[in-house]
Structure 1
Amino acid sequence: MTGSKVPPSFRLAYVPGVTPTKWVRIWNERRREVPLTLIAVSATEASDVLRDRGADAGFVRLPIDRTDLSAIPLYTESTVVVIPKDHVMAAVDEVSAEDLAEDIVLHPLDDTLVWERRPGRPAIERPATTADAIELVAAGVGLLVVPQSLARLHHRKDLTYRPVPDAPESRIALSWPEDETTDLVEDFIGIVRGRTVNSSRGRTPTPAQPKRKRTETADARRKPAAGKSAGRNPRSGSGGPKGGKRGKPGRRS
């Protein structure tokens, strides 16, 4: 209809391994009038989706191209190696990068881990995605080092994983176009950071309660407690200290 306003909405992108359920639930409780749409994106395309205004904000894996984008780091993930269940490393609790030296370690094109020196021996070709690399691990072609959430996301009964403590860690951040920090974006930042409704930016704080008049306060202080007389000692009948002795009566002349 000509001249009608487009109803507000909020588009939230997220990369594999991120579970935005909790934050979406809080949004729906606070901003019921603004529907939230989830958009699944790959780790490699996330920054371009935000920069091209394909989403208002998004959960991304760092590092990303920060040109024209703002980002708030949220948490860091542990890194694991995905292996067949019958692999010799399945018998230990954790694996070092040096332990992978003799194995083929797959390096998918959507990998975001930043290594100074990648462990293991490289495969002849790089898999296109992490999902493709998982299939190759299951086929016995090589091993895969990934953030733990991705190992869980692509879980298979014939595979398992072990922590790699000395491997680089993956950081998750909330990102958005820096020149599009709208009220809705501010509201979502507040939700992710755990702000309450009244403390969220862009919201009107609860007004302070007016102070009571001075005369009312003074009257309340002067009012005696229930069942007690004011300023009088029940034993002496006067305002003196409790337990005070009465003086002897004088002699009559």
Structure 2
Amino acid sequence: MVAEKKATIVNIPIEKIRPNPYQPRKTFDEVALQELAESIQKNGVFQPIIVRPSSVLGYELIAGERRFRASKLAKQATIPAIVRQFNEDEMVEIAILENLQREDLSPLEEAQAYEKLMKQLQLNQTQLAEHLGKSRPYIANYLRLLGLPQATKKLLQTGELSMAQARTLLSLQDKDKVNALAQKTVNEGLTVRNLTGLVEQLNGQKNKVNKRKKVRDIAEPYYRQSEQLLGEKFGTKVTVNSSKKSGKGKIEIDYFSVADFNRILDVLHINLD
């Protein structure tokens, strides 16, 4: 983890700030940037960006890419900044962690951020999960998205395809059919449940004649997909155990510490005070 540094807040000429060369985020919402620029014109920048002295010219941006870009759009001469000393490894980590904290980060961008952190910090999935306070399955599920073909990744990046749909497509055995099925999912508005059935058919699974078995075959992958969605919601492993006869069952949510238990309660909006 990046150590705390002494900081000084100053107004720095925007022309003396270089973009962060390690910025993992490549796509920015132009409409949102323009709205932020208009706000900055009226009210200024409330939260300083973070920079470090540059050995080349002026300063290098570490965190605050959107504020920096919007300030340039607003034609601001200066911007408030916190000046800190960071080495190259710390610059990369901070840039990635800042992006991970953004609410509008796409699943693919989040997966790419985890991959970069693993490489930069030389961590495996378990170590990265501990570093970020998440479960290993949570990290693994995002990293699997990087195995999708490029056209499907684009649909995921633009939000046309959900993470649950993308993960269902990963189970398709014939990888040459993934892009076509992804586009079909978008065009026809297929639900995850519908998509799961199509994937099973393409994987060569035969339909059962017995009606009860049909219901069971459809329900089982539905429960497994529900486990994945709940796991993403709570950031931990979730197990759904169901009875095929009665339809009853239970949901088990794993936690790894008291702090993790309290975090899950917060997700559920449960206050025991």
Identify, as 1 or 2, the structure richer in strand.
Answer: 1
Same structural fold, with TM-score higher than 0.5 when normalized by the shorter chain:
no
TM-score by structure 1 length? Answer: 0.23
Identify, as 1 or 2, the structure richer in helix.
Answer: 2
Between structure 1 and structure 2, the one with the greater Rg is 1
Structure with higher RCO (Cα < 8 A, 6+ apart): 1
